[in-house]
Amino acid sequence: MASYSSSRLFAAFLVLLWSCRLYANGCYPSLFSFGDSIADTGNLKQLAATSNDGTFFPCVPPYGKDFIGHSTGRCSNGRLIVDFLAESLGLPLLPPYFHGQGTGGVVEPRKGVNYAVCSATALDASISEAGSSDRPVLNASLGVQLSWFKESLLSICGNTSDCRNFIGRSLILVGEIGGADYSHILQAGKLIDDLEPYVTLVIDVIASTINELIEMGARTLVVPGNFPIGCFPSYLATTGPDNQEYDPITGCLTKFNEFAEYHNKMLQTKLIQIRELNPDVVIMYADYYNSLMQIYRSPHEYGFTNNGTLKACCGCGGPFNYNMTIGRCGDACTILCDEPDTYISWDGMHLTERAYKLVFKSLFQGPYTTPEFYSMCPTSTSQAKLSSSL
């Protein structure tokens, strides 16, 4: 009797071991990403290096100063949300699509590829007013990124029916996208009050991209909303007297945050419609806005000091360490903070690695995705805790 139950115990132990091994392989064998500079791990850097059309790459050192290998093309001092996500799934850091171009392809494309490009818009160049006259419009909109994905697909996963299953097992991150559309339109001289008509256009592009991915076999997607841009030094430093209305708790610009919330509300409404039409597909909304807003509401609890709350770590001076008249982070005028970990904003428009890591945790191991990511992928939680270093 005793030996019977102990062998049962042993069998149970084996099952446990086996399931741990399964867990170690992660819930998703691959990760694909689309978006702008929030997720670009090196595409624009590569595009600028290989094209002769004046494509400009802004994220030069000290960008990447806290990343192994340094200047990777990430627009932060270190890793991005998508990097922490890949690590937590037991996947390699996501290779940029253009690293593989002309060199025989990305090394392990079956584990995922990143199509996000710094400064990319949701809207195609022809319909966005993105073209500020001094610079060519970047041809890397969400639709173009999707066409790169389609072009590269057969080399990643073989034939059409294999690819369908492969995409179905993959996790697909669609965004953040739209932030660059709005910032380009503002830079072209429009006011925050003029932006509303563009929101529907942007959301329609995001929705049609999701629908196309679903048609190709996608079953698990994460769709982020916009950040609270009213807290970003780039807007705090440049907004005109008409819009200088501040939230008393955070010091953020009220109208800019209301606009981001409006975009997010429209996006979520659209996602609800897509879910209803595709009940077998999981579409998670990633609430970048509130995930970051909780930090702005009590920055000290998270170790961000007075200077690091609304001021950029890297910039060219002024009350928010952001002054494009003089120059940007990376130019000769650069004033770099001593402790990036005590700053939320790295350069006025992008977060520091530490802020990205906190946002990642609250999204993918906390309550800020709907439905909650960790309820579908408990693995990522335990793995990320193991590899947690900050």
Six-digit token string for 350? 């992008």
Q: How far apart (Å, rounded) are the C-alpha atoms in residues 43 and 82?
A: 14
Based on the residue annotation, tell me whether 184 is a catalytic residue of this protein. Answer: no
Q: Pick the catalytic residue: 141, 350, 362, 380?
A: 350
Q: Pick the catalytic residue: 37, 119, 291, 362?
A: 37
Show the CA angle centred on residue 155, arms to residues 126 and 106, nearest 5°: 80
Q: Please, what is the minimum distance in Å from the beta carbon of residue 379 to ligand NAG?
A: 27
Nearest alpha-carbon partner for 166 in 155, 175, 177, 176? 155
Residue nearest to ligand NAG (CB): 318
Q: How far apart (Å, rounded) are the C-alpha atoms in residues 354 and 363?
A: 14
Q: Please, what is the minimum distance in Å from the beta carbon of residue 246 to ligand NAG?
A: 15
Q: Please, what is the minimum distance in Å from the beta carbon of residue 337 to ligand NAG?
A: 7
Based on the residue annotation, tell me whether 347 is a catalytic residue of this protein. Answer: yes
Cβ pair 183, 260 in contact under 8 A? no
Q: Please, what is the minimum distance in Å from the beta carbon of residue 307 to ligand NAG?
A: 4
- Which CB atom, from 163 or from 207, has the smaller least distance to ligand NAG? 163
- Which CB atom, from 196 or from 339, has the smaller least distance to ligand NAG? 339
Nearest alpha-carbon partner for 174 in 130, 201, 138, 143? 143
- Which CB atom, from 207 or from 326, has the smaller least distance to ligand NAG? 326
Report the C-alpha dihedral over residues 130, 133, 135, 137, rounded to 10 degrees. 30
Based on the residue annotation, tell me whether 37 is a catalytic residue of this protein. Answer: yes
Please identify which residue in the block is written with the tokens 């400009």.
Answer: 56
Show the CA angle centred on residue 128, arms to residues 209 and 259, nearest 5°: 80
- Which CB atom, from 281 or from 326, has the smaller least distance to ligand NAG? 326
Residues in contact with ligand NAG by CB under 6 A are: 139, 144, 147, 158-159, 161-162, 237, 305, 307, 318, 323, 325-326
Cβ pair 322, 348 in contact under 8 A? yes
Q: Please, what is the minimum distance in Å from the beta carbon of residue 139 to ligand NAG?
A: 4
- Which CB atom, from 245 or from 339, has the smaller least distance to ligand NAG? 339
Q: Which positions are annotated as active-site residues?
A: 37, 347, 350
